[in-house]
Each structure stands twice: as structure tokens, then as C-alpha cells.
Amino acid sequence: MARKLAGQAAVVTGASKGIGAAIAKELAAEGAAVVVNYSSSKAGAEKVVAEIVAAGGKAVAVQADLAKPAEVGKLFAGAKEAFGRLDILVNNAGVYEFAPLEDVTPEHFHRMFDLNVLGLLLASQAAVKHFGPEGGSIINISSVAATAAPAAASVYSATKGAVDTITRSLAKELGPRKIRVNAINPGMVETEGVHTAGIIESDFRNQIEAQTPLGRIGQPQDIAPAAVFLASSDAAWLTGETIHIAGGYR
């Protein structure tokens, strides 16, 4: 059976672990050559690349911190050098940090907005220059926090609300160039970051699961197939959408 993304090339930002790693592997399994971007976790990115190559796919790891505008170009130059083309961008790199209103600082604000919003815009800007005349697909990883807006998450939720708005705006702007722009809005997903933050064993996780019709938090593999769908010709007439993958949590 023909693979859905054969002959295409993708950049997945923040792909050394978690949702980004799962998406990189899923895109590769469907035939895409994948640039596994990482900011600091070189070992994690190289492990993802090794798994893709061991399964018969193509991948390279490229370091770039998308919160630093000067490093964005390096990522796409690396993609062009490795694969000679670009068809898919997955804007997955992001950071989250909960803080009650009294603890919100300019540093807290800029830490998240510089990566989650400005980094996403600059990566999209760079990708568009590399897409061919046949267009391309940009997939933004947003969050149910954009609409659920949990307590003590005002800044993080605001970044994801911005991502949803950017998705709709860029879909209108880039549609005439055959570039589709969509977002995936995951619910709580069990990743290394969620473990590190202590959320897995928390009352917050229990609350979320109690309000989730399917009764569990997600796994990275719950998210990855949707990225393949949005990148492929199966979604050829789909742009400006946000797909919630959250077990029914709202």
C-alpha cells in the first residue's frame, strides 16, 4: 500500500520527546523524510532519529532554539541541506508553566510567548519560503487550554488562544499559495514534561480525567495520526481548523 507522505519532507519542532517525537516517527512511517528539531536534548533527538532509521525511514536531528529568532533560519537551512525540499511543518516546540495571577512576571510572560507564539510565527515564515509551488501543510500544536483556560494558566492559555487565532488567520492568508494551516489541540497527554512537572500523580490529573468522557488522559500516540492526516492529501480541502484530541474534555 502506498504511503501517504512518500517523497515529502517535514520539519517537526521540539521533536526530541513527547508529542513531537511521536509525530516525527508517525510522519516517517508514512514515508516523509523528517527533520527532528531540538533545543537542548541532543540525545533525545538522536534517539528519535535512530528509531526512524531503524524502521527504514529517513531523519536527521537539527539543533535550534526557536525562542531565539537568530536560530530559526539555521533549522530550515539544515532541512534544505538534508532533503532538498520542504512540504510539512509541525510547530510543536512549546513551553508551559502554570502561575497564579500574583506570580505572573514579564519573564514568565515572555518565556512562553517568545516560543509558543513568536517562535511559531517565525518558523512558519521561514517554512513558507521553502515550500514549493505545490504548496505545503503547517500543523500547529495548540491545546485545549486555549478554550478550557484552567485556573492559574492565564499566560499559557493566552499563548494557545493566540495559536488558534494565528491558525485561522494564516489559513486565509496562505490559502491562495496552496498552503494549508491547521491546529491540533490536545488535552492532557502523558509526556516527560508532564511527569517532570509532577502532574501525573496530582489531583489536577484526577480532576481532568473525571471531566473527560473517555475517562483517561492521552498518550503521544493518540495525537500523532492526526498530524499525518492533516499533512496528507486526505485533508486537501481542510484549512483553518482546530481539531480537539482530548477524550471529549472541553
Of the residues 38, 96, 156, 249, only one is catalytic, namely 156
* Beta-bridge mates of residue 218: 189
- All three cell numbers of 235, joined, read 485533508
CA distance 192 to 149: 22
CA distance 192 to 133: 38
What end-to-end distance do the CA atoms of the chain give, in Å? 37
Beta strands in 44-192 (DSSP E): 58-63, 88-91, 136-141, 179-186
Give the ranges where 114-201 is alpha helix by DSSP (H).
120-130, 145-148, 154-174, 192-196
How does 139-168 read in b/e, with b if 16+ C-beta sit within 10 Å?
bbbbbbbbebeeeebbbbbbbbbbbbebbb
156 catalytic per annotation: yes
CA distance 173 to 180: 10
* Beta-bridge mates of residue 131: 86
CA distance 89 to 241: 16
CA angle 179, 183, 186 (to 5 degrees): 160
Catalytic residues: 156
